[in-house]
Amino acid sequence: FAWESTVGEQKAKNVHVGGGKPREDFVEMRETRDASLGMPKLIVPSLQVNMRAGNMPEPDDKGDVFLKIPVNKL
């Protein structure tokens, strides 16, 4: 497995941006692909934790911790 690379390697070999492809081609590819995707399944709980700098919400009176999911707003 190659888990690290140089900027030069990415510029030469990355299928999305490598080989001298113009920026406009990359932007078009990303916008087309992103428009076809739905909302990530775990976006709401991940945002709740990320907004707290990785910390979970405060526990309730019984000591239980809950993430709140607005089921009627998505």
Mean pLDDT confidence for 43-59: 93
pTM over 0.85: no
Q: Which two tokens stand for residue 72?
A: 């009627």
pLDDT band at 57 (very low <50, low <70, confident <90, very high): very high
Q: Which two tokens stand for residue 60?
A: 């309730």
Which one-letter DSSP state was computed for residue 59? P
CA dihedral of residues 46, 49, 52, 54 (deg, nearest 10)? -100
Q: Which two tokens stand for residue 22?
A: 């113009």
Of the chain, the percentage scoring pLDDT greater than 90 comes to 54
- The sign of the CA dihedral 17, 18, 22, 23 is positive
| Spatial separation of the C-alpha atoms in residues 36 and 44, rounded to whole Å | 20
Mean pLDDT confidence for 5-24: 86
Sorted by where each begins, the domain ranges of the chain are 7-36, 39-74
